[in-house]
Structure 1
Amino acid sequence: MQRRTHMRKSERHQVIKRIIQEKTVRTQEELLAELKELNITATQATISRDIRDLKIVKKADKDGLVRFELFTEVSATEEQTDHQELFRQMNEFVTKVDVAQFLTVLHTLPNNAQLLSASLDDYPLPGKVATIAGFDTIVIITKSNDDALAVADFFNQQIAL
């Protein structure tokens, strides 16, 4: 087979969309491997730009594993369902809520922080700047100490600890 060394950006974007829609792709490395199987060469930097340009997001699948998906606007009904899922996850996974200055720290059951954090990223918490997740801990960075306290209050009101 002949190697294809150059492809227009728009063509590569179409191929990437098709791969994401037809296959389970969890990492940039897996996406690069899929492209390579199609004799399309690209660098890691190019793939990173393509992912940003195409608005490809990571989303948890039915097994709780993260995979790439094309971003789509959600309807009000889908957003409500997503929020219900977030509240279910909060009640199921969160074991403790702490505040340290402008940070709200959520302690979760083992191996559940990243899944809950991904759901939190889509939820409009006032004052939230970012979330960072580990194995059993999520740090929610807020703009101020007051915002961190408000976020902690939100969680304490939503979950039954």
Structure 2
Amino acid sequence: MTRLDRRVRQGIIFEALSQGKVRSQQDVVRILSKAGFRVTQATASRDLEELGAVRGKGDDGRVIYSIPEPGRGLIDDLTLAINESQRLLVIKTPPGAAQLIAGRIDRTKVDGIVGTIAGDDTIFIACAKDASTRGIKDRLKGIVAGESVGRSGAKARKRSTR
């Protein structure tokens, strides 16, 4: 598939997400099939991840995919609690959001973070012996809010591509 196909496909998915029509990856496959795209569940999964879609509970209590509100960082939308315990940070998220946030943290490579482990709704962050968990916690808030945090901890806002 071409990049144009991917953009069109993801536009269709985005519209369905905006209307609250996506409860599973299989829903994405069906929606795209009706629009003339033959995709696998793996492609649907990649598209949802690239769009930043997360699983949460809808008004009816059932699982639904959505995209966090623009203008707010992922930490605001997806973090229920951040707790510190010696050299460990524990982030609680809605179901399905932990791996999205942990992946973003891993790709940023913040000084002081030894590694992350993500389940469905919990992230464990191991901090280096000489690192301040409070300092790392503050840097993480910036990272998931869309700031780029270098190895020195200096912040720079990401530029919009629009």
Whose radius of gyration is greater, 1 or 2? Answer: 1
TM-score by length of 1: 0.47
